[in-house]
Amino acid sequence: MFTAKDYAMPQSVEEAYEILTARKTNYIVAGCAWLRMGSRRINTAVDLSEVGLDFINDTGDAIEMGAMTSYRSVETSSLLQENFSGILSRAVASIIGIQFRNVVTVGGSVYSRFGFSDFLTPLMVLDTSVHMYKDGVLPLEEFMKMPYTKDILVKVSVKKAPVIASYQMFRNAEADFPIVNLALSKTDGRFKVAVGARPGRAVLAPETAGYLTRALEDFRNQKDPKALDENAAQAGKILGDEVGFGSNMRAAAWYREKIAKVLLKRAIREVEGC
Ligand SMILES: Cc1cc2nc3c(=O)[nH]c(=O)nc-3n(C[C@H](O)[C@H](O)[C@H](O)COP(=O)(O)OP(=O)(O)OC[C@H]3O[C@@H](n4cnc5c(N)ncnc54)[C@H](O)[C@@H]3O)c2cc1C
């Protein structure tokens, strides 16, 4: 369990940032589900509960999720269920249980960039930006490659688009971390593929996506179901070469790669409506 000498409940993001940066050992606390698993010694715990970041808003061209929005809100939001093929709501719905999802937050999850995240992989195949208080607005793909900095994640925004998407994951047991996960999206005929829980951070697979964009256009012209399976198998090969998989206590690299190919095939079938 973490310990904190002092506790602050700022009323604005500006005030929170001032307290956060006043000392190296001051930290943001959000849902605290992850923090409580460790033994971090915090000087001042900066609680964002009263800063007004618990929202899911439709801005017209995007949907925004405030940093203090819980996974349960993401799961049950009609806005998120009706947009992006509902993959964001469905992706978080499989994490542990409702009480847990009532607590954990969008900000704590996206800021932490966990490799096993069920939320980041689908966000990667959408047009997602991360709004940081100091660093400004960053595309998620860029944010995923950045080191941790002393900053506050304010909100995550996802641009609306005529997208068809699928999120697939594989777990050894229901309440465990996914051993590999994959998201696929198609916007105006162009595909995006992301693979997470490799077990490293989620990455995009542009070569696989490029192949699918070309090959599935041919498939749609022919409407031959065999061609879809052949294309999925070829895309799986490209994915295996393009994305690096690793081993840990949950699965070996070769097993993750095999499962990722199966998930890709399922995602293609879902997106193509077969
Ligand atoms: C036992 C367990 C099992 C889990 N299983 C899964 C799973 O299967 N799939 C999955 O996707 N996730 C899983 N998670 C992760 C979980 O979903 C959350 O991502 C995680 O708990 C972080 O969210 P939080 O609100 O609890 O953050 P906290 O624990 O409060 O904070 C985590 C870190 O983020 C920082 N932080 C928090 N908010 C901000 C902010 N707005 N700006 C800057 N920094 C911030 C904190 O300082 C801290 O360093 C699991 C977590 C636990 C504890």
Distance of CA 5 to the CA centre of its chain: 32
Interval between CA 69 and ligand 1 midpoint (Å): 12
pLDDT greater than 70 at residue 252: yes
- As for how many domains the chain has, the answer is 3
Domain that holds residue 43: 3-47
Distance of CA 32 to the CA centre of its chain: 18
CB contact set of 110 (below 8 Å; sequence gap of 6+): 67, 119, 120, 123, 130, 140, 143, 153, 156
The confidence score (pLDDT) of residue 216 equals 81
pLDDT greater than 70 at residue 274: no
Residue 235 and residue 205 share a domain: yes
Q: What are phi and psi of 144, to 5 degrees?
A: -65, -25
pLDDT greater than 90 at residue 227: no
User: Which residue reads 């800063």 in tokens?
Assistant: 51
Residue 63 and residue 35 share a domain: no
The confidence score (pLDDT) of residue 224 equals 66
Average pLDDT of span 236-240: 97
Residue 182 and residue 226 share a domain: yes
How open is the CA angle 258-263-155, to the nearest 5 degrees? 120
Residue 213 and residue 199 share a domain: yes
Q: Out of 22-31, 47-56, 187-196, 224-233, pick the least confident.
A: 224-233
User: Cβ < 6 Å from ligand 1: which residues?
Assistant: 27-35, 37, 48, 67, 95-96, 104-105, 107-109, 111-112, 114, 116-119, 152-153, 177
Residue 139 and residue 198 share a domain: no
Distance of CA 274 to the CA centre of its chain: 26
Using the 3D structure, point to which of 133, 159, 185 is the last residue of a domain: 159
The confidence score (pLDDT) of residue 273 equals 85
pLDDT greater than 70 at residue 134: yes
Residue 173 and residue 154 share a domain: no
